[in-house]
Copies of this chain bind each other. A is one copy, B any other.
Amino acid sequence: MDRLALGPARVTDVAAPFAMSLTAVSKHIKVLERAGLVRRARNGREHTLELDAAPLGELTRWASRFERLWNERLDRLEAFFAVRKKEEPR
């Protein structure tokens, strides 16, 4: 995905930096494709891959929901331990 964020690329190009077989990378791409994160355009024997980052929006929204709560949570944690200290001073 990092590679595809730079622009369209072929399977071989995407595979290049990895110390694993083309077959393995091909499988990974198929997974990303099924997940809707990658689009494929067949051009003769070459398959040109294109990133589709839209589905990551859902992930971001999910994660940022927690981020939004983060500081608030820290405060509560502090309060929680403060109470504990008070209640059981030994």
Contact bitstring A18-60, B, C-beta under 8 A = 1, else 0? 0000000000000000000001010100001011111011011
Q: How far is the CA of A41 from the CA of B83 in the complex (A)?
A: 13
**A86 lies within 8 A of chain B by Cβ:** no
> How many copies are assembled?
2
| From A41, A56, A57, residue with most partner B Cβ within 10 Å | A56
Contact status A70-B43, CB under 8 Å: no
Additional A-B contact list (4), CB under 8 Å, known A5-B65, A50-B80, A53-B70: A8-B80, A51-B69, A53-B63, A57-B67
Which residue in B1, B64, B73 is a CB contact (below 8 Å) of A60?
A: B64
* Nearest B residue to A65, CB-CB: B5
